[in-house]
């Protein structure tokens, strides 16, 4: 961290040969949508694009088919005042977010638009598409960006979040980034602004060949039918670890989440043990979360798990091992048996209205 601070306070030389000095900054945000709305992680990518420079022209790319795509486009046009235009690719090839057709789409949009930057959220959607698109464009992407200083300098965590690396991009255009959405929260004034709606344009797909479809195919989509908030954007998250011992005991976490209006998370150990599906995994190889309240029960605090939740505003940990590493990052810690603590919490908490 000391190295990062010293680097940031040093006056940097001007590179007249830089690709960014020769033209205005323009950004393409590769956006994800569901149920007729652009996802919050993609709106955070728009927020991140603002930091690339003044006068940045931000275009949002949406793809899919049917009425939900048009609804998502209308939502994207008014979800953030910094959006200059919304590009819509309407084709059955994009009904499912497969990497090959999406990467081909990004390629042809970049060839036509000549953007200086391409940004996506560092979630399963962005991590699936952006590396393949970067390969087609012959550039090296910068992943998991948590801070942006101008058009070519970025900060990303390394060593499971225990160190921060400052990266200056000097490659050819476009500079491609994935950003951690939790590091770029959208201000309420931006999220609720509806005064200026961006124009919506259709992407010309006449040059989109069958070779862009690739060899992968969509099989099926499974999801849990629940009214709980999404894990990646929930204000409160309750997480269980291997200390819960079984899938049956994990139901206590679900009851607690219902009372708190929270999302349920899990450690990799709990997922590997088969207690819960892997879409609930929090950590370096799972979802990165930063809720207002993070409650960990039976979580030891492995470095990979802490990397995915250390930015939470308030961390509460319950573990019977007083030496568990989770207590080193917790704001409040209770050394106790979770099988006694959780039932007591359930008894004293009022029912969620």
Question: Which tokens go with 158?
Answer: 């390394």
Tell whether residue 268 is among the known ligand binding residues. yes
Is 196 annotated to bind a ligand? Reply is: no
Peptide bond into 27 cis (omega under 30): no
The response to whether 284 counts as a known ligand-binding position is: yes
Q: Say if residue 64 carries a ligand binding annotation.
A: no
303 is in an annotated binding site: yes
Question: Does the annotation place 240 within a ligand binding site?
Answer: no
Which H/E stretch holds residue 350?
Answer: none
- Residue 167 CA to residue 152 CA, distance in Å, equals 8
Tell me whether residue 171 is annotated as binding.
no
| 214 known ligand binder | no
**301 assigned binding-site residue:** yes
| 304 appears as a binding residue in the annotation | yes
331 CB-near residues (< 8 Å, 6+ apart)? 314, 315, 316
According to the annotation, is 299 in a ligand binding site? yes
Q: Is 319 annotated as a binding residue?
A: yes
Residue 19: C-alpha distances to residues 25, 26, 50, 145 (Å):
10, 12, 18, 20
Is 203 annotated to bind a ligand? Reply is: no
242 belongs to an annotated ligand binding site: yes
Q: How many CB atoms lie within 10 A of CB 160?
A: 16
Q: Confirm whether residue 146 is marked as ligand binding.
A: no
Quote the Cα angle for 40-44-49, to 5°.
150
283 is in an annotated binding site: yes
Tell me if 267 is assigned to a ligand binding site. yes
User: What residues form the annotated binding site for FAD?
Assistant: 242, 267-268, 281-285, 298-305, 319
User: What residues form the annotated binding site?
Assistant: 242, 267-268, 281-285, 298-305, 319
């Amino acid at each position: 961290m000391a190295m990062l601070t010293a680097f940031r306070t040093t006056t940097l030389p001007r590179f007249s040969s830089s690709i960014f000095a020769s033209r205005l900054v323009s950004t393409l945000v590769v956006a994800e949508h569901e149920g007729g709305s652009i996802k919050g992680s993609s709106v955070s990518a728009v927020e991140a694009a603002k930091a690339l420079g003044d006068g940045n022209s931000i275009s949002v790319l949406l793809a899919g088919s049917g009425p939900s795509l048009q609804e998502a486009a209308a939502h994207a046009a008014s979800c953030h005042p910094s959006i200059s235009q919304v590009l819509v690719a309407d084709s059955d090839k994009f009904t499912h977010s497969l990497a090959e057709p999406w990467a081909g789409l990004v390629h042809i949009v970049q060839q036509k638009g000549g953007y200086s930057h391409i940004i996506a959220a560092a979630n399963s959607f962005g991590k699936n598409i952006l590396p393949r698109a970067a390969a087609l464009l012959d550039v090296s992407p910068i992943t998991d960006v948590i801070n942006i200083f101008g058009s070519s300098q970025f900060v990303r965590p390394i060593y499971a979040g225990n160190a921060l690396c400052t990266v200056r991009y000097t490659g050819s255009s476009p500079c491609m980034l994935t950003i951690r959405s939790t590091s770029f929260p959208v201000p309420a004034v931006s999220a609720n602004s509806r005064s200026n709606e961006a124009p919506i344009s259709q992407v010309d797909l006449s040059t989109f060949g069958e070779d862009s479809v690739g060899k992968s195919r969509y099989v099926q989509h499974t999801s849990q039918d629940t009214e709980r908030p999404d894990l990646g954007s929930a204000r409160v998250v309750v997480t269980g670890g291997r200390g819960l011992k079984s899938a049956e005991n994990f139901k206590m976490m679900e009851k607690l989440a219902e009372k708190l209006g929270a999302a349920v998370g899990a450690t990799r150990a709990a997922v590997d043990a088969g207690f819960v599906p892997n879409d609930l995994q929090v950590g370096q190889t799972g979802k990165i979360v930063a809720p207002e309240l993070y409650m960990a029960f039976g979580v030891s605090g492995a470095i990979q798990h802490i990397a995915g939740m250390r930015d939470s505003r308030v961390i509460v940990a319950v573990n019977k091992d007083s030496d568990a590493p989770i207590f080193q990052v917790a704001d409040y810690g209770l050394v106790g048996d979770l099988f006694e603590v959780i039932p007591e919490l359930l008894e004293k908490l009022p029912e969620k209205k």
